[in-house]
A and B are shown apart, each in its own frame.
Chain A
Amino acid sequence: MNDGAIVCVRGLRTHFGDVEVLRGIDLDVERGEVVAIVGPSGSGKTTLLRALNYLTPFSHGEVVIAGHRLHPGMNERAHAALLRRVRTRVGMVFQNFHLFPHLTAVGNITEAPRYVLGIDSAEADSRAMALLERVGLASHGHAYPHTLSGGQQQRVAIARALAMDPAVLLLDEPTSALDPRLVGEVLAVIADLAAGGQTMVIVTHEIGFARRVAHRIVVVDGGLIVESGAPDDVLERPRNAATRALLAMEEKTSPQRPRVAEKKGFSLPEAKR
């Protein structure tokens, strides 16, 4: 195991019924590193990400993350304490945000710090406001999720994960559910985090964005890592057929998408006012 690694995956296998989704994954993530996982639909990349905090159990291999070892056969009831310790240190951002609809933006962000870490509400609130400012939503603290746009909801979700000061942030296709107009504002926030040294594992379809923000790109196909390396190496000189197919797809669809990755500076709608 690498000393600087904060995530260390060895021989990871997962099956749903008879279907083997992950067929032996090895992956290290260094402290401060941004790793983008790309690959075709059904390749197993989301399953891999969800195995890292054991939201999806795995059947073989092991995951060492933030100093804790996860192994096959664990369950939510019997290993509740260990899983809680892991998840307290590992943040997660979902494709569909999963904000708590009965709580305001601030309520969403302060929920875990207050009730898991025991931080008092005044301090949790002021930290939540600082985080909202960081994601460009300083004036939306008292808004309920259903009054926010998809992009705004996802930025609140990112702030919610950051409030726990995670050692690693896992992002599961954070822009896939968004209206194309709103993708940019979310990617801008993530790029900002990367620049700030936040360790992240991002499952994404935004190849251009991955190229610009990630230190390393990991290509998953058929439950295996088929290619891994610096973005320029992987994307300019792809050695694997799956990578080449992915790039060809990106070429075809990119004209319709805002080419955020090509822009030089990202702007946050409110923070930079």
Chain B
Amino acid sequence: MTRRFLPALVLIALTRGATPASGQDALAQVRARGALRWGGDIQGGEPYAFQDPHDSARLLGFEVEIADALARRLGVRAEFVQNDWSTLIPSLERGDFDIILNGLEVTAARRERVAFTRPYYAFTETLVVRRDDVTLHSLNDLRGRRIGTLAASFAFELLRATPGVDFVLYEGVEEPYIDLEQGRLDAVVLDNIIADRYGLARPTLRAAGTVGDGTYAIAVRPSDTTLLQAIDAALGELMHSGELRRILTRWSLWNERQDHLAVAATAGGTRSAPGTLTLSQLVLFLRAAGFTVLISTLAMGLAVAGGLVLSIARRYGGAALRLAATTYVEVFRGTPVLLQLYVLYYGLAPVLTLNAFSAAVVGLGMNYAAYESELYRAGLQAVPIGQTEAALSLGMSRRLTLRRIVLPQALRVALPGIANDFIALLKDSSLVSVITVVELTKQMTITAVDVRSWVWPGLLCALLYLALSYPLSRLARRLERRLVPVPA
């Protein structure tokens, strides 16, 4: 028995991991598997697809219900696959799931990469401002203002096509509205579903107008024509039977716009993105690299100064000071820098409003100060006691001894480590994209979406990082060679 089943099992195992180019019909695969895998990001939150607060194993949302209804009509069950929203299309291409069903707006640029079904929801772009702001009404008013939106969204395309807008990109739906309340932004442009739930729920904010419209549709790999037809047909049935309307009504999403969906041809995008890297994108890359260097250098300066204070407090301070410095080091070394950036930027926002750039520098600097202090502490311990005795016996004060005799020697011991930390910081600075700073890595992900490829932007990004870090690592090695033979 097992002998006969073994080849079949191997085949199933292979096809599960196989790329979409394997030639197998996608619809047949879905049927064979008994599951329609749909990709989405639960960070998008209510009402799209999100975890049931009472049962974390369960998903809720209007898209969850649409997925279930579609799967039922195909005679299979729906299987959700979690994926970052901004990389849903590359993951679909990789074959991580069969369809994207997650507030994906139909644009011309996306149409060149994926095949869309008929739309299942018609949205508008809502301009949200602070209640006391009366100056902003339309896209043209946004010139020279700081406007927040989601990375890779339709609203982002709209803003980018509007000259002079200073846009700020977010990964989550709460954060842009927090920043708008804090005054870090002048307005937020996002789909009406998001604006209604996350923006207009805040009493300090109001809707200033509608600045665009479009539709959500289900994306399928262009080669999977049978799957596309089957899903599109199933969606059509959901519409005609009134099931889609019932789902949307249940989530308070139904409005007269949805009536036109069945007849509407899918809306076009606002602009067509170029397929290759252009000179202006290259300039953006170089600017982002400059930003990476600027943030890293300032943060490193802060880290060196902070680390020095911490290490001196730990070695020469009284009991209370030592405890405080040790606690600082353990806390900042023992928790993720990503969490520290979030807390600094969003968590402390009610009491301390830093702009994104300052928060990035301070956050990275405070984190690296903990590592630097350990480095200097080792350096201080490496300076022989005889050096201190010689300085004291010349009438030098303890402070002068530290500054003129002990620290210069300790820093020499620590220098190669400092250079290494600087290289690490250069790369860790990519984390500040979570607090809306567009540095090198973030620019890479933005450009990758534009040119619909990760290869060239990725290579260029890697090359720029190498160009920055390689001279540093050469310097570190030279310092090590030069400083090691000097006996203390």
A residues apposed to B, CB below 8 Å: 53, 55, 76-77, 80, 83-85, 87-92, 94, 96, 98-102, 111-112, 115-116, 144, 146, 160-161, 164
B residues apposed to A, CB below 8 Å: 384, 386-387, 389-398, 400, 404-405, 408-409, 412, 485-488
The 25 listed contacts between A and B (C-beta, < 8 Å) are A53-B393, A55-B393, A77-B398, A84-B396, A87-B392, A88-B394, A91-B393, A91-B394, A92-B390, A92-B393, A100-B387, A100-B390, A101-B486, A101-B488, A102-B408, A102-B409, A102-B412, A102-B486, A111-B405, A112-B394, A112-B396, A115-B404, A116-B396, A116-B400, A164-B395
Q: How far is the CA of A59 from the CA of B398 in the complex (A)?
A: 23
A55 touches B392 (CB 8 A): yes
Residues in chain B near residue A94, CB distance under 8 A: 386, 389-390
Residues in chain B near residue A80, CB distance under 8 A: 397-398
Taking A100-B391, A116-B395, A146-B487 as given, write out 4 further A-B residue pairs in contact, using a Cβ cutoff of 8 Å, ordered by the A residue number. A76-B398, A84-B396, A91-B393, A112-B394
A98 touches B386 (CB 8 A): yes
Q: How far is the CA of A98 from the CA of B487 in the complex (A)?
A: 11
- Give the distance to chain B from A250, nearest Cβ to Cβ, in Å: 28
A117 (CB) vs chain B CBs: closest residue: B395
Residues in chain A near residue B389, CB distance under 8 A: 55, 92, 94, 98
Residues in chain A near residue B392, CB distance under 8 A: 55, 76, 83, 87
Which one of B387, B392, B409 has the greatest number of beta carbons of chain A within 10 Å? Answer: B392
B412 (CB) vs chain A CBs: closest residue: A102
Residues in chain B near residue A77, CB distance under 8 A: 398
Q: How far is the CA of A76 from the CA of B401 in the complex (A)?
A: 13
Residues in chain B near residue A87, CB distance under 8 A: 392-395
B405 (CB) vs chain A CBs: closest residue: A100
Q: How far is the CA of A128 from the CA of B232 in the complex (A)?
A: 92
Residues in chain B near residue A92, CB distance under 8 A: 389-390, 393-394
Q: How far is the CA of A69 from the CA of B408 in the complex (A)?
A: 34
Residues in chain B near residue A83, CB distance under 8 A: 392
- Give the distance to chain B from A257, nearest Cβ to Cβ, in Å: 26
Which one of A84, A94, A115 has the greatest number of beta carbons of chain B within 10 Å? Answer: A115
Which one of B386, B390, B408, B409 has the greatest number of beta carbons of chain A within 10 Å? Answer: B390
Residues in chain A near residue B408, CB distance under 8 A: 102
B387 (CB) vs chain A CBs: closest residue: A98
Pick from A55, A90, A91, A101: contact of B487, CB under 8 Å: A101
Which one of B384, B404, B485 has the greatest number of beta carbons of chain A within 10 Å? Answer: B404
Main secondary structure of the interface of B (DSSP, over half): helix
- Give the distance to chain B from A134, nearest Cβ to Cβ, in Å: 18
Q: How far is the CA of A144 from the CA of B398 in the complex (A)?
A: 24
Residues in chain B near residue A100, CB distance under 8 A: 387, 390-391, 405, 409
Interchain pairs with CB closer than 8 A, number: 75
A116 touches B394 (CB 8 A): yes
A89 (CB) vs chain B CBs: closest residue: B395
Q: How far is the CA of A63 from the CA of B390 in the complex (A)?
A: 20
Residues in chain A near residue B395, CB distance under 8 A: 84-85, 87-89, 112, 116, 164
Q: How far is the CA of A112 from the CA of B405 in the complex (A)?
A: 11
Residues in chain A near residue B405, CB distance under 8 A: 100, 111
A111 touches B404 (CB 8 A): yes
- Give the distance to chain A from B402, nearest Cβ to Cβ, in Å: 12
A111 touches B394 (CB 8 A): yes
Which one of A76, A80, A92, A100 has the greatest number of beta carbons of chain B within 10 Å? Answer: A100
Residues in chain B near residue A88, CB distance under 8 A: 394-395
Residues in chain A near residue B486, CB distance under 8 A: 101-102, 144, 146
B400 touches A115 (CB 8 A): yes
Which one of A88, A96, A101 has the greatest number of beta carbons of chain B within 10 Å? Answer: A101
Q: How far is the CA of A84 from the CA of B409 in the complex (A)?
A: 23
Q: How far is the CA of A88 from the CA of B398 in the complex (A)?
A: 13
Residues in chain B near residue A160, CB distance under 8 A: 394
Q: How far is the CA of A96 from the CA of B391 in the complex (A)?
A: 14
Contact status of A96 and B404, CB under 8 A, knowing A53-B393, A87-B393: no
B386 touches A115 (CB 8 A): no
Residues in chain B near residue A90, CB distance under 8 A: 393
Which one of A83, A98, A146 has the greatest number of beta carbons of chain B within 10 Å? Answer: A98
Q: How far is the CA of A112 from the CA of B395 in the complex (A)?
A: 7
Residues in chain B near residue A89, CB distance under 8 A: 395
Residues in chain A near residue B488, CB distance under 8 A: 101
- Give the distance to chain A from B9, nearest Cβ to Cβ, in Å: 70
A99 (CB) vs chain B CBs: closest residue: B390
The 6 A-B pairs of least Cβ separation, nearest first, read A88-B395, A98-B390, A112-B394, A92-B393, A98-B386, A87-B395
A96 touches B386 (CB 8 A): yes
A87 (CB) vs chain B CBs: closest residue: B395
Q: How far is the CA of A232 from the CA of B68 in the complex (A)?
A: 111
Q: How far is the CA of A144 from the CA of B409 in the complex (A)?
A: 14
Contact status of A101 and B409, CB under 8 A, knowing A115-B404, A146-B486, A146-B487: yes
Q: How far is the CA of A55 from the CA of B395 in the complex (A)?
A: 11
Q: How far is the CA of A10 from the CA of B278 in the complex (A)?
A: 87
A112 (CB) vs chain B CBs: closest residue: B394
- Give the distance to chain A from B332, nearest Cβ to Cβ, in Å: 29
Residues in chain A near residue B387, CB distance under 8 A: 98, 100
A108 (CB) vs chain B CBs: closest residue: B390
Which one of B393, B396, B408 has the greatest number of beta carbons of chain A within 10 Å? Answer: B393
- Give the distance to chain A from B376, nearest Cβ to Cβ, in Å: 16
- Give the distance to chain A from B4, nearest Cβ to Cβ, in Å: 79
Q: How far is the CA of A12 from the CA of B395 in the complex (A)?
A: 23
Residues in chain B near residue A55, CB distance under 8 A: 389, 392-393
B316 (CB) vs chain A CBs: closest residue: A77
Residues in chain A near residue B393, CB distance under 8 A: 53, 55, 87, 90-92, 161
Residues in chain B near residue A91, CB distance under 8 A: 393-394
Q: How far is the CA of A144 from the CA of B412 in the complex (A)?
A: 15
B390 (CB) vs chain A CBs: closest residue: A98
- Give the distance to chain B from A258, nearest Cβ to Cβ, in Å: 26
Q: How far is the CA of A112 from the CA of B487 in the complex (A)?
A: 22
- Give the distance to chain A from B486, nearest Cβ to Cβ, in Å: 5
Residues in chain B near residue A99, CB distance under 8 A: 390
Q: How far is the CA of A94 from the CA of B389 in the complex (A)?
A: 9
Q: How far is the CA of A115 from the CA of B408 in the complex (A)?
A: 15
- Give the distance to chain B from A243, nearest Cβ to Cβ, in Å: 30
Residues in chain B near residue A85, CB distance under 8 A: 395
Q: How far is the CA of A89 from the CA of B412 in the complex (A)?
A: 31
- Give the distance to chain A from B183, nearest Cβ to Cβ, in Å: 48
Q: How far is the CA of A160 from the CA of B409 in the complex (A)?
A: 19
- Give the distance to chain B from A7, nearest Cβ to Cβ, in Å: 15
Residues in chain A near residue B398, CB distance under 8 A: 76-77, 80
Q: How far is the CA of A211 from the CA of B74 in the complex (A)?
A: 111
Q: How far is the CA of A144 from the CA of B488 in the complex (A)?
A: 11
- Give the distance to chain A from B338, nearest Cβ to Cβ, in Å: 39
Q: How far is the CA of A193 from the CA of B414 in the complex (A)?
A: 40
